Amino acid sequence: MKPLAWLRSVASALLHRSRAEDELDEELRAHISSRADDLERSGVPRPEAERRARLEFGGYQKFKEECREALGLHFFETLAQDIRFGLRMLRKSPGFTAVAVLTLALGIGANTAIFSVVNAVLLRPLPLKDSSRILSVTTKTPMFPLFNLGNSWPAFQQIRSQAASLEDAAVYNTTDRTMTGQGGPAQLRVASVSDGFFDELGTKAGQGRLLRPGDHRPSENLVALISDAMWRTHFGADPAVIGRTLVLDGKAYTVVGVASHSFDFPEKTDAWIPIALTGAAESQPTYFMFQMLAKLRRGRTVQQLTPELDTIAKRMMHDYADLGDGFSFNATPLLETRVQNLRTAYLVLLGASALVLLLGCVNLASLLLARGSARQREMAMRAALGASRSRLMRQCFVESCLIALGGGAIGALLASSGVELFRAIAPAETPRLNEMAVVSSSLLLWSVAASLASGILSGLAPARRAASANPHDSLKENLGGKQAAGRTLSQLRLGHMLVVVEIALAFILLIGSALMTQTVSNLLHQDPGFRTDHLLTFDLPRPRLSFDVDDATIAREIDRLKKILERTRAVPGVEAVAASDHGVLSSRTMMHSELHTDAAAGREVPKRRASARYVSPGYFNLLGIRLLRGREFTEQDAKGAPEVALVNQAMARAYWGTPDVAGRRISLERDQKTKQPIWIDVVGVVDDARDVQVANEPMPEYYLPLLQEGTSSLSMAVRTMAEPGGIAQTISREIWAAFPDQPVTHVSTMTQTISESIGDQRMRSTLLMVFAGIGFALALIGAYGVVSYSVAQRIPEIGIRMALGATPDGVLRMVLRQSMVLVAAGVGIGGGAAFGLTRVIASQLYGVKPGDPATFVLSTILVLIVACLACYLPARRAMRVDPMVALRYE
Amino acid sequence: MPAATPAQILPGTLDLLILKAVSLGPLHGYGVLLRIEQISRGALLIEQGALYPALFRLVRQRLLKARWGTSENNRRAKFYELTSAGRKRLREEADGWNRLAAAIASALSTRPEEA
């Protein structure tokens, strides 16, 4: 019967089981009654007729049983039998069962944990209404060709009103603001949102109300929606929170609502307020300061939206000459924008965990095979007693699935602690970390699916063998006959193949984890180009200065900066202090919208734009960045003095083609009236440093004096005499004494910062290392098992060899040589596969190439040595074979 | 029952007999039994109960199809009829059987001088 038809009949038998049973009874009874009727008609009295009819029918129960079998009603009863029998067999050899279950538990656990993470981060829709229709729209401009920027307000207005494929659009921007009046000063993440923002995301207020269109009046409207977490931590879960006041950057906002518990967009937002537009931001098409969310109409696609956005971009280029050629919009599904950087990394982890699971399956298969040889006779006996081939095969699958389900149950437990572990070691900025449930239905489903799949996969080899069980041969063996040599050979060959596969899989994992570990170590030991020891950093956030700030405010800010520097420097244990506008290794860059140099006219402007950093005097000295040409900034480079700049070597080479640029000029803005560039002297050149990201080559950078321009928020760097950990408290107190409302945030030593900046790579390398460890252990157990099994099978042969004069050493060498051929084949295949696969992670590696020869050679040596040990133990047993004992088996 | 000792049917021939019996018109289980006795003129003995596993097997192989109806004496009964696959199978088996029977018959009728 065709499998599908069989399945159908089994399914219908299962569905209509009781009806089928009833009908069966009815039909058989009808037969007996009809017979009795006939007999009665021929003159037999009724009771006698019924008796005879029953007798003639034969064994009622026996035939009924046969009928049920023929109907397919039997499948489940016999399955239950098989399961009971399987359980009994597993109980009988608890050692084997434990190893087998654990083998799979590790594989399933690793795989399920990673799947849960991947599912939570990459696959599951964002917890927003109709999230698949929500897009993020970004701007590309020739001014900053390498970046996806936010959108200007005019662009938002045009897109919202003109893109026909959109249902609605909203913008927001996130800033850090200082909250006062609720205990000590604290920094909050505040999202300023346009109207339509909450409608688009489809959320409801937990308490009070959301922001509504009326809140978005042209004038500033001081109302706020706070997050559920905020309500609990800062407002003590006050039920009467609506109407209370929230002071942000000195402005009092009225709390109008609390967001629902599950609403967290943009991630980790503490409060939402209406966007307050200042004059310039509302009309300037080059203020790319808003993140845009656009919601597609039902049934529309991004492909339909793109040409509409292009049309709008063209019209805007026409209307605003400042935008320049090549201005365009780009729409991407929101989920994608949030996880795109992680996709490869996570899929690699998922792949690695799949390899571990596969290894577990192969291992279980080889364990089952080895044990199967001990059960050959049992199978043969059952075949001789009339068990069908399919029944014997099913027995094998039932047993492997039982083991796998046991493994799956333990695996699910392992997986849920794995997810917990992941949440603990994942870097804090990992998206959707808080959406990740430790136990979820997807986790459980996946572990069940993984167990059944691996049960069937690892049952394949034993089932194939059971199907070929020949009762004749096997039973003869039982009577002292010789083993059917051909079949033993083919079994051995299968076992050997499994060893090769296992070693190959383990080798791939080993290479992957070795490359990732080197990446982490390379990053950790990368010389960033500045002194990282005894260095404490922290941020002093302040409200952003408005675009059209007056001179008096700047003077006040500079004065404040000087005071902070003085006070910090006075703290005992502080060797030196410097400030900049954004932190060292904060991964942030700042760029001016215009940057010109006095380089020769024909020179091409580099595609990678130089970024700016405002620094206080002594900054380079403190960090240990060498001055190569000219001079550093001094106290004299202050407000009112001629404007000056420093550039780093990378910028000098990129823009002028020479490091000798002291005395050259750059320009960052044009005169409002004459439109002529305002030039600034480059007074010195400093050495390159990786002060943005350790993993990136030094970027072209120019430095401007903080004392000249002033800035609101500061990032401080303090060189300490002793270990920097303890001094932060004293410094904070010192600053609070002068500026009680000043939050001190992101306190960290440079060593910590570097370590955290590679948190993602470190997590991945840790996981890969764990996987490789598990995989390697499994492969060794597998190799050990198969070699032991093959030695056991070959005892008579070895006996003959020894009787014919082979030395124990010779036998040892022979067994080892043969095992090592398998291991070498595994390494060869695994090496080839790893060579191809590691290209996938090329972009995640640092300081090491995917096909790094040293890694491959060392891993090969490692695998060969360890595998040699794993094979040595059983091989030694071969050496000890006593020819007399062995031959007596014959 | 006929007076002559009825022969036990050969294994494997029951299916063929059932197919043949049903090919003459839809029958319920007991009817199949009667029909076989009738067409074999009582020469073949069938264990009555063994009929049903065979019928169910044939239904599952889609050689027969079954439906519930009312028997001539007004009992609810399940009627079997041939499917087209069943008809084809009957033809093949019958041919095979005839060839075999002819071969055996010819073998058995061999006289000593012909050997």
The overall longest dimension of chain A from CA atoms, in Å, is 135
Contacts of A49 in chain B (CB under 8 A): none
Average pLDDT rounded to a whole number, residues A58-68: 80
Considering only CB atoms, A57 lies closest to which of B49, B75, B77, namely B49
Confidence label for A435 from pLDDT (cuts 50, 70 and 90): confident
Instruction: Report which residue type is found at B97.
Output: W
* Closest alpha carbon to A425 in A773, A847, A758: A758
Main-chain phi, psi angles of A58, to 5 degrees:
95, -170
CB A355 within 8 A of CB A480: no
pLDDT at A682 over 90: yes
- Is the Cβ pair B60, A60 closer than 8 Å? no
pLDDT at A885 over 60: yes
**Does any CB of chain A come closer than 8 Å to the CB of residue B8?**
no
Residue of A nearest to B75 (CA): A30
* Closest alpha carbon to A890 in A505, A493, A570, A477: A477
Instruction: Enumerate the β-bridge partners of residue B79.
Output: B28, B67
CA angle A881, A887, A888 (to 5 degrees): 115
Average pLDDT rounded to a whole number, residues A749-764: 85
- Is the Cβ pair B76, A72 closer than 8 Å? no
Average pLDDT rounded to a whole number, residues A237-242: 89
Residues 6+ positions from A432 with CB-CB distance below 8 Å: A120, A121, A126, A267, A338, A339
The CA distance from A228 to A265, in Å, is 12
- Is the Cβ pair A34, B47 closer than 8 Å? no
pLDDT at A249 over 80: yes
Per-residue pLDDT tens, chain B, 115 aa: give them. 444 566 666 667 888 888 888 888 888 888 888 888 888 887 777 788 888 888 888 888 888 888 888 877 777 888 898 999 889 989 988 898 889 889 988 888 888 776 6
Residue of A nearest to B78 (CA): A27
Residue in the block written with tokens 């696969």: A837
CB A889 within 8 A of CB A796: yes
pLDDT at A456 over 70: yes
- The better pLDDT of the pair A361, A712 is held by A361
Residue of B nearest to A35 (CA): B30
- Is the Cβ pair B49, A9 closer than 8 Å? no
Beta strands in A714-843 (DSSP E): 714-720, 745-749
CATH architecture for segment(s) B7-108: Orthogonal Bundle (1.10)
Instruction: Report which residue type is found at A47.
Output: P
- Is the Cβ pair A63, B53 closer than 8 Å? yes
Taking the CB of residue B63, how many other CB atoms lie within 10 A of it? 22
Confidence label for A524 from pLDDT (cuts 50, 70 and 90): confident
Residue in the block written with tokens 């209404």: A129
- Report the pLDDT value the prediction gives residue A626, as an integer from 0 to 100: 93
Residues 6+ positions from A807 with CB-CB distance below 8 Å: none
pLDDT at A472 over 70: no
CA–CA distances in Å: residue A356 to residues A352, A515, A634:
6, 18, 60
**Does any CB of chain B come closer than 8 Å to the CB of residue A72?**
yes
Beta strands in chain B (DSSP E): 7-8, 27-28, 44-45, 64-70, 76-82
- Is the Cβ pair A30, B47 closer than 8 Å? no
- The better pLDDT of the pair A220, A117 is held by A117
**Does any CB of chain B come closer than 8 Å to the CB of residue A30?**
yes
**Does any CB of chain B come closer than 8 Å to the CB of residue A12?**
no
Report residue A543 as tokens: 């409200």
Confidence label for A340 from pLDDT (cuts 50, 70 and 90): confident
The single-letter DSSP state of residue B10 is P
Instruction: Report which residue type is found at A871.
Output: C
Beta strands in A547-664 (DSSP E): 574-580, 596-597, 611-615, 627-630, 644-648
Kindly report the nearest CA distance between residue B68 and chain A, in angstroms.
10
- Report the pLDDT value the prediction gives residue A720, as an integer from 0 to 100: 93
Considering only CB atoms, A58 lies closest to which of B29, B47, B62, namely B47
Contacts of B8 in chain A (CB under 8 A): none
- Report the pLDDT value the prediction gives residue A181, as an integer from 0 to 100: 79
* Mutant choice from B1, B15, B30, B34 vs A, greatest count of A C-beta within 10 A: B30
Would you say how long chain B is, in residues?
A: 115
Query: DSSP letter string over A357-409?
Result: HHHHHHHHHHHHHHHHHHTHHHHHHHHHTT--HHHHHHHHHHHHHHHHHHHHH
User: In which element (H, E) is residue A247 found?
Assistant: strand A245-248
Residue in the block written with tokens 């845009």: A292
ipTM entry: 0.85
**Does any CB of chain B come closer than 8 Å to the CB of residue A35?**
yes
- Report the pLDDT value the prediction gives residue A405, as an integer from 0 to 100: 92
* Mutant choice from B38, B70, B75 vs A, greatest count of A C-beta within 10 A: B75
Contacts of B29 in chain A (CB under 8 A): 27, 30-31
Burial of A733 (0-12, 13-18, 19+ CB in 10 A): exposed
Instruction: Enumerate the β-bridge partners of residue A205.
Output: A259
- Is the Cβ pair A63, B71 closer than 8 Å? no
- Report the pLDDT value the prediction gives residue A39, as an integer from 0 to 100: 87
Confidence label for A476 from pLDDT (cuts 50, 70 and 90): low
CA atoms within 13 Å, Cβ hemisphere of A670: 9
Residue in the block written with tokens 């300023």: A192
Query: 357-386 in A: which are within 8 Å (CB) of B?
Result: none
Kindly report the nearest CA distance between residue B98 and chain A, in angstroms.
26
- Report the pLDDT value the prediction gives residue A474, as an integer from 0 to 100: 57
- Report the pLDDT value the prediction gives residue B2, as an integer from 0 to 100: 42
Residue in the block written with tokens 């002028």: A656
* Closest alpha carbon to A781 in A877, A878, A874: A874
Contacts of A67 in chain B (CB under 8 A): 52-53, 56
Instruction: Report which residue type is found at A626.
Output: R
Taking the CB of residue A483, how many other CB atoms lie within 10 A of it? 17
Residue of B nearest to A65 (CA): B53
- The better pLDDT of the pair A608, B63 is held by B63
CB A326 within 8 A of CB A744: no
User: In which element (H, E) is residue A253 found?
Assistant: strand A251-259
Looking at every residue in chain A, the average pLDDT score rounds to 85
Considering only CB atoms, A67 lies closest to which of B33, B56, B77, namely B56
Residue in the block written with tokens 């990740």: A436
Sign of CA dihedral A779, A781, A787, A789: negative
Domain locations along chain B: 7-108
Residue of B nearest to A2 (CA): B61
CA–CA distances in Å: residue A262 to residues A191, A267, B58, B87:
17, 11, 60, 67
pLDDT at A113 over 50: yes
pLDDT at A389 over 80: no
CB A159 within 8 A of CB A166: yes
**Does any CB of chain B come closer than 8 Å to the CB of residue A3?**
no
Report residue A711 as tokens: 């800035």
SS3 content of chain A, % helix, strand, coil (to 5): 55, 15, 30
pLDDT at A303 over 80: yes
Average pLDDT rounded to a whole number, residues A521-530: 88
CA angle A7, A8, A14 (to 5 degrees): 90
Considering only CB atoms, B77 lies closest to which of A30, A35, A56, namely A30
> By mean pLDDT, which of A410-414, A433-437, A770-774 is the weakest?
A433-437
Average pLDDT rounded to a whole number, residues A672-682: 88
Residue in the block written with tokens 């640029």: A661
Size of interface A-B (CB pairs under 8 A): 66
* Closest alpha carbon to A148 in A346, A336, A300, A347: A336
- Report the pLDDT value the prediction gives residue A640, as an integer from 0 to 100: 83
Residue of B nearest to A8 (CA): B60
**Does any CB of chain B come closer than 8 Å to the CB of residue A9?**
yes
- Is the Cβ pair B48, A71 closer than 8 Å? no
- Report the pLDDT value the prediction gives residue B1, as an integer from 0 to 100: 41
* Closest alpha carbon to A510 in A866, A825, A783, A760: A866
My answer on whether omega of the bond before A266 falls inside 30° of 0, hence cis, is yes
Query: 20-79 in B: which are within 8 Å (CB) of A?
Result: 28-30, 33, 47-54, 56-57, 60-62, 68, 71, 73, 75-78
- The better pLDDT of the pair A127, A716 is held by A716
- Report the pLDDT value the prediction gives residue A73, as an integer from 0 to 100: 66
CB A741 within 8 A of CB A178: yes
CB A395 within 8 A of CB A84: no
Would you say how long chain A is, in residues?
A: 890
